[in-house]
Every structure is written in C-alpha cells, then in structure tokens.
Chains A and B, each alone.
Chain A
C-alpha cells in the first residue's frame, strides 16, 4: 500500500509529545485534530504501525521463463 500523506501525518502526530494522545499536553491537540478530521479513532489506530508489505518480486520460475523468452526473442531478431 502506498504511504499516504495522511498516514505519515498521523504517525508524526503520535510520535510528537505535543500532539500525541498519550501525553497530557498532546491529548488536547490530538482530540482537536481528530474532531476536525471526522475520522473514528479506531480507524486511525488500525493503520498506524502496520509495516508496509514488500511488493512481491518475480518467482524463480518466472525469472527463468523470462530469461528463456528473452533469449528466444533476441535470437529470432537476428535472423
């Protein structure tokens, strides 16, 4: 999943004591931002901290097939 600006912003807020809901000083600021965003808190936490899934690269079989196909094409092109 691409890293959205919104997600980066939420992480930033949680990591900053001035906006983090877990610090006394940040709780108020966090609440104000969440109210303005009109997004349920549960939804926010579902996304925070989740590691980004690495995109699946080609398998060995796919690489091998691609290599053979490329050789076939390049050889045919020289005819």
Chain B
C-alpha cells in the first residue's frame, strides 16, 4: 500500500488572502531571488517592475510586502525605490552585520508571535542591489547573518530576498549553502564563463549544449532574460522572461517520435 504523504503541520500557516490576488505568472513568495546580468542589461528595471507594476507584487495598488529593507551600493536609484508603494520601507547604503542580525532576530520573534495568534506572517522583503555579496556572506566572529537569513528567510522569517549582481562566479553565490537556497534565478546577458557556469549548475533536464543555445537565442533580444524557478515543476522550470516555457530539445523530439509511432496507419 502506498504511504500517504501529508504536509507537515508547521507548513499549515494562516494564509495571507492578498496572495490569491497576485499575478499567477509571478514566482511564488517568499523566495530568494538572484537577478544576474552584465551592467546595463536591465536587472534594476526588472526588480523595479516586479515591485511597482500592477502585474508585479502589488495588490490593490499597494505592495504585498509589509516591510522592505533595500541595500543599494549607490544613491542614484533611491528615488526610484522610494516609489514602491510600501509605507514601511528603508533604503540603506551601508551594511552592518550586527544591525542586520538584530533586525532578523526581531523579525523572527514578531513572525512567531503572529503565528501563535493564528495570524498570517508579515511579508518582509530585503534587497541587495549591487552590494559586494562576497563580503556580506563572509563570516564575522564565527557567523554570517546573511547566510542565516538565506537559510531561514522562507520559513520562520517569511522574507523574500532579492540579490542583484553582475557576477556569480567567485562570489558568495557559489557557496553551496547560498546557491542551493536561491530559489529563483533571473539571468540576463552574462559573460561567457559566467553563463557557462550558471547553465552547467542549473540545466535541470536540459543538455548543457541545448540550454546554452536556447539561452543565447534569448539573449539576442535586447534586455531579455531567462528565469530558472525551482519552485515550479521540472517541465516548466525554465522560462524566457516569466511565462514562455523553454523545453529541452530531446523531449520535443521524443514527443514528436511518440506522435509518429502512435499515429493511425
């Protein structure tokens, strides 16, 4: 007899009713996003659109996120982030390990308090836009708050994290604990070695050569990107932008052969 699998009760959290109103094409939240691409490819525009557009993480004109912390390397895009319709938002240009550690701890306590009261957890969001991620992930005094954030963000923190970066190789994103906890990869045009590394690590049911070809075809269009969303089923995990599913060539061939075999004689 097959063993029935039930969701672990800790997963039965009170639901935020606003979630049902979100655009179904959006990656589910909470998620850990990495938006990667060369300078000028459109990473910040992608993030900005996700956070301000009606089709993005917006419900009834307001952000789905109840509180947002945005770390940006420079001040030139502050005015754009200030347009996000979230009242409880802060933009910071420095990163302090202890301060973020305290913030995470306080958020964790608050979320647990809400869950005890049978309330849906708050939707929190932390953004790192072109910050030197490798430095952020480095351990200081034996611990790294950012690592702890990534490991627990989707669970007790109910926090969505966005990283925007020009490079992936030789950065903190190659640390297995970080790489494995990024749920959604948004990949713009990257240098060849960077793209090769991402494709090699995340080709899923594609052959490396096949995904490389499909990626390059997508990158021929300006400001285009592919999305690898691990919270989607395998057959719809890789998409051009957010909705156009990319399919492995060998599966398309198998399908057409199958159709030929089963065609009426």
Cβ-based interface call for A47 (8 A): no
Could you say which of B14-22, B39-47, B100-108, B175-183 contacts chain A?
Answer: B100-108
Cβ-defined partner of A75 (8 Å) among B88, B89, B95: B95
Q: In the assembly, what is the distance between CA of A59 and CA of B22, in Å?
A: 26
| B114 in contact (CB, < 8 A) | yes
Q: Are A64 and B90 in contact (CB under 8 A)?
A: no
Given contacts A64-B122, A67-B103, A78-B99, whether A72 and B110 have CB atoms under 8 Å apart is no
In the complex, the answer to whether A60 meets B110 with C-beta atoms within 8 Å is yes
Q: Do residues A68 and B66 form an inter-chain contact, with CB atoms below 8 A?
A: no
B69 close to A64 (CB less than 8 A):
no
Q: Which residues of A contact B114 (CB under 8 A)?
A: 60
When distances are taken between beta carbons in the complex, the residues of chain A under 8 Å from B106 are 67, 70
Chain A residues near B99 (CB-CB < 8 A) = 71, 74-75, 78
Chain A: number of interface residues, binned into ranges: 10 to 19
How far in angstroms is the closest Cβ of chain A from B133?
17
Query: Is the CB of B92 closer than 8 A to any CB of chain A?
Result: yes
- In the assembly, what is the distance between CA of A21 and CA of B46, in Å? 76
Chain B residues lying within 8 Å of A50, measured Cβ to Cβ, are none
Given A67-B110, A68-B67, A71-B100, A61–B88 Cβ distance below 8 Å?
Answer: yes
Given A60-B122, A63-B110, A78-B96, the answer on whether A68 and B102 have CB atoms closer than 8 Å is no
Contact A75:B67 (CB < 8 A) given known A64-B122, A67-B107, A67-B110 = no
Interface residues of chain A, those whose CB is within 8 Å of chain B, are 60-61, 63-65, 67-72, 74-76, 78-79
7 closest Cβ pairs, A-B complex: A74-B99, A78-B96, A71-B103, A75-B99, A64-B67, A75-B96, A67-B106
